Structure 1
Amino acid sequence: MPPARILPVIVFSQFAGTSLWFAGNAVLPELQSTLKLQNDALPLLTSAVQLGFILGTFCFAALSLADRYSPRMLFLFCAVAGGLANAAILLAPESISAVLSLRAVTGFLLAGIYPVGMKIAASWYQGKLGKAIGYLVGALVLGTAFPHLLRGFGTSLSWQTMLISISILAALGGLMMYLLVPDGPLSGRGAVLRLGNMLDVFKLKDFRAAAFGYFGHMWELYTFWAFVPFILAYSLPTLSAQQTSLYSFAIIAAGALGCIGGGYLSQWWGSERVAFMQLLLSGVCCVLSFWVFNMPGLVLPLLLCWGVVVAGDSPQFSALTARTAPPQLVGTALTVVVSIGFAITIFSIQLIGYLLSLFQPQHVFIFLGIGPLLGLLTMRRLLKRA
C-alpha cells in the first residue's frame, strides 16, 4: 500500500506543472496589444505550445528517458526550466518570434511533466491505475484552467505578475515531487537506449486499440479548450472580460469531475467502458453545437457538460495505454502516444481556426466530432474484451 501522501503530492505537482500550458492564453489581450496581433493570435500561441510539446515528447520517447532515469528528477528539471521559459516572456514582450519561441520551449519541457507524472503514478498504483490517473489528469485539467481563474479574480494583477506567479507555482510542484515522492516499486527502469522502442509498442493489437481511441479523443480536446473563450464571446456577447475568464475556467475545470468520477467508475465498469461512454457523449456535444450555439439559454449548460466529458475519458485511455504496453516500456509508450496525440491537436486547432474565417461558429465545431467517431470505432476491440 503506497504511503498516504503519494497521490496528493503527485496530483498537486501535476496541477502546478501543467498550469504553464495556457499561461499565454490567459494574458492574450495584453500580448495582442503589445505585439499588435490580430485574431489569429489564439491559434498561434496555442499551437506553439503544442508543437513544442510534440517535439519534446518525441525526443523523450526516442531516448526512453523516463524508463532509463529517475522520472521524478526529470519532472523536477522540466518543471523548473518550464517556469523559467514561461517567465522569460517578460524579457521580450514586443517580439512575436521570441514569444512564440518561448511558448514552444515551454511546451517542450511540459513533455517532462504530463506523461512523466503518469509514469510516476503507474509505478505506485498498478492495481487502481484508472482511479489514480483519474486524479492525475483531473489535476492537469485544473492546471490548464488555472490561468483563466487567475485572470478572472486577479483583474488588478499585471500580466507580468500573472506569468511570474504561474512560473513559481510550476517550480514548487517540481520540487515537491522530487522531495516527497520516491521512485515507485513498479518504476520498471532498465530500458536500453534503442530508437525502435517507441515503434515496438505498436506491435501489440490491444495497445493500438487504446492508442487510436486516445488519438480520436485528442482531435477534440485541446481545440475545444483553446476556443472556449471565443465560443463564449460569440454566443454570449454581453459577458464582460472577467465573466468570460471565470466561465472559461469553470468549463475547462469541469473536466476534472469527469476525470475523477470516471476514475471511480472504472473500478466497477472498467476503463474500457468508461472511456467509450465519455467519448460517445463528447461526440454528441459536438453535434449539438450546430444548434445550441445560437441559443443563449442553453450555451452554458452544453459547454459545462461538454467540459466534463471531453476530458473525462483521457485518464482511462492513459490507463489502458499503460496496461497494454510492455512493462519495461510504459514511460516510452505513454510518451509516444501523447506525442502523436498532440500532433493531431495542431491540425485540429488550425483547421477550426481556418474554418472560422469562412463560416459561422455554429457551423464549425461539429467537425470536432470526427475524432470521437473514429476513436469509438477503434475501441470496439477493447470493449469486446471487457
Structure 2
Amino acid sequence: MRKRTALAVLCFVVVCGMSPWFATAAVLSDMAQEGGFGPGRQALLTAGVQAGFVVGALISAGLGLSDRFDPRGVMACAALMNALVTAGLFAVPLGSDAAIALRVAAGAGFAGIYPPAMKIAVGWSVRDRGFLVGLLVGALTLGSAMPYLFAWMGGTAWRPVVAAASIASLLAAAGSFMLRLGPYHARASTFSARSIVLMWTDRRIRSATGGYLGHMWELYAMWGWIGAAAAVGFARRLPEDQAKSLAAMTAFLAIAIGAMLCAPAGRLADRIGKAPVSAGAMLGSGSMALATALSFGGPVWLSMLVILIWGAMVIPDSAQFSAMIADAAPPEVAGSLMTMQTALGFGLTIFTVQATPVLAGWLGWPVALALMAIGPALGIAALSPMLRRDSQSPDPESTP
C-alpha cells in the first residue's frame, strides 16, 4: 500500500473513531430536558470522557501498548469498545451514574485510537512529520466535530446523534484491519516504563509538553462548550430554537475549519520550525478567546465570525507538539511518550471542561471564555527555549 493511500485509510479510521467524543456534548440540552438533570451532571458527561482518556492513556503509556503491540489491533479493539459503550447510552437513565461511567469508558477507548494512530503516522516518514501528524490531527478534529453536524441535521435530538456516533465507531473498527505500517515504524521488543522519565529530563520533550499543556487548557473547554455558549449568546438576538440550531452549526463549522488547517500548518512547520508555528497559533487562538468574550451577545454575524476564526486557530498547533516529541524521542519509545504527553494534557482538561460551565454560571459566559486565553499565554512561555533554538539553528530534520 502506497503512503498516500495508507494515510487516507488512517484518516478515515480516525474520523470515524473519534466521532463519539462529543456525542453527548452536542445534544446536552435535549438529554438534560428529557432526563431532568442539571448543569453538574451535564459537565460530568463531558468531563468523564476526558477522565477516561487520561486513565486509558496512562495505562497505555505505562504498559507501552503503542510500542510493544501492533497499533492496528489496539485501534480495532478500542473502536469496537467505543461503539458498544456509546450505544449503551440507550439502555441507561440519562444523566445517571451509569451514563457517566459509559462516557468514562469511551474516553479510555479513545486512548487506544488517537496515540496509536500517531505512532502509525510518524512511521511513514521522518522529514515531513509535522505534515503527517497535522493531517492526523485534522482527521481527529473533523471526527470530533461530527456530532455537532449530526445534531444540526437531527434538530438537536439526542438519539440520532448517539446512534450515528456508535455506527461511525463500528466503521473505524472495521477500517483498522485495512491499515498498513510505514517503513519507519519502530516496535520495541521490550519496554521500560523508566523511558517515560524523558518527559521531564529531556529539555526538548519537556518544553513541547509544557506548550501542549497550555494548548490543552483552552482546546477542549472551547470545543466542549462553544455550542452551549453560542446558543446563549445568539438567544439574545434570535428565538431560542433558532439560536440552538445555529449554535450547533457554528460549533461544527468552528471545529471543522480548524481541521482543514492542520495539514497546511504542518507543511509550514516542516519548513520554518514546529515551535514558531505552534506559538503563532496559540497567540491567535488566545486573542480570539478574548474577542469572542467581547462580542458575546452582540450581532449574531459578528459573534459567529469570531467563533469561526477562533476555531480555525485553536487546533493547528496540536499536531506539532506531538511531532516535537517524535523528533526528540528514541523511535522505539516515541509512541509511549506521545501517549504520556496526551495523558497529561487531557488530565488538565478534566479541570477546564468541568470548571467552564460552573464559571459561566457564576460570572457569565464572557468571563469564562476570556479565561481560556490563560492557556495559550502559558504555552507560549513554555515553548520559549524551543523558539530560541529554532531561531538559532533550524532542525535539519524539519527541512523538506
The answer to whether the superposition gives a TM-score over 0.5 is yes
- Does the Cα contact within 8 Å between 2:121 and 2:133 map onto a contact in 1? yes
Aligned-partner residue type, residue 367 of structure 1 = L
2:40 equivalent in structure 1:
40
Between 194-203 and 327-336, the greater mean CA deviation after superposition: 194-203
Tell me, which stretches of 5 or more residues in structure 1 are unaligned?
Answer: none
- Does the Cα contact within 8 Å between 1:62 and 1:197 map onto a contact in 2? no
- Distance in structure 1 (CA, Å) of the matches to 2:83 and 2:328: 33
1:167 equivalent in structure 2:
166
1:332-363, Cα deviation, whole Å (9 max, x unpaired): 01100000000111111222222212212212
- Distance in structure 1 (CA, Å) of the matches to 2:362 and 2:215: 25
CA-based RMSD:
1.8
1:129 equivalent in structure 2:
129
2:204 equivalent in structure 1:
206
Say yes or no: does 1:146 pair with 2:132.
no
CA-CA distance at 1:2 after TM superposition: 4.3
2:255 equivalent in structure 1:
252
Aligned-partner residue type, residue 119 of structure 1 = K
Aligned-partner residue type, residue 46 of structure 1 = T
Say yes or no: does 1:228 pair with 2:226.
yes
CA-CA distance at 1:111 after TM superposition: 0.2
* TM-score, normalised by the number of residues in structure 1: 0.95
1:288 equivalent in structure 2:
291
The DSSP-based 3-state class of the residue aligned with 1:312 is coil
The percent identity for this pair of structures is: 32
- Distance in structure 2 (CA, Å) of the matches to 1:159 and 1:256: 24
CA-CA distance at 1:176 after TM superposition: 1.5
Report 1:264-279 matches (<5 A): 264-279=267-282
- Distance in structure 1 (CA, Å) of the matches to 2:315 and 2:3: 28
- Distance in structure 1 (CA, Å) of the matches to 2:63 and 2:211: 25
Between 98-107 and 270-279, the greater mean CA deviation after superposition: 270-279
2:374 equivalent in structure 1:
370
Between 242-251 and 73-82, the greater mean CA deviation after superposition: 242-251
- Distance in structure 2 (CA, Å) of the matches to 1:325 and 1:163: 38
Report 1:114-125 matches (<5 A): 114-125=114-125
- Does the Cα contact within 8 Å between 2:50 and 2:350 map onto a contact in 1? yes
- Does the Cα contact within 8 Å between 1:275 and 1:313 map onto a contact in 2? yes
- Distance in structure 2 (CA, Å) of the matches to 1:369 and 1:131: 26
1:5-55, Cα deviation, whole Å (9 max, x unpaired): 111111111101000100112332332133211233432111010000010
* TM-score, normalised by the number of residues in structure 2: 0.91
Report 1:1-386 matches (<5 A): 2-94=2-94, 96-155=96-155, 159-179=158-178, 181-190=179-188, 192-237=190-235, 238=238, 239-296=242-299, 297-386=301-390
The DSSP-based 3-state class of the residue aligned with 2:188 is coil
Between 347-356 and 104-113, the greater mean CA deviation after superposition: 347-356
- Does the Cα contact within 8 Å between 1:137 and 1:315 map onto a contact in 2? yes
- Distance in structure 2 (CA, Å) of the matches to 1:215 and 1:113: 20
CA-CA distance at 1:191 after TM superposition: 5.0
CA-CA distance at 1:382 after TM superposition: 1.0
- Distance in structure 1 (CA, Å) of the matches to 2:294 and 2:88: 43
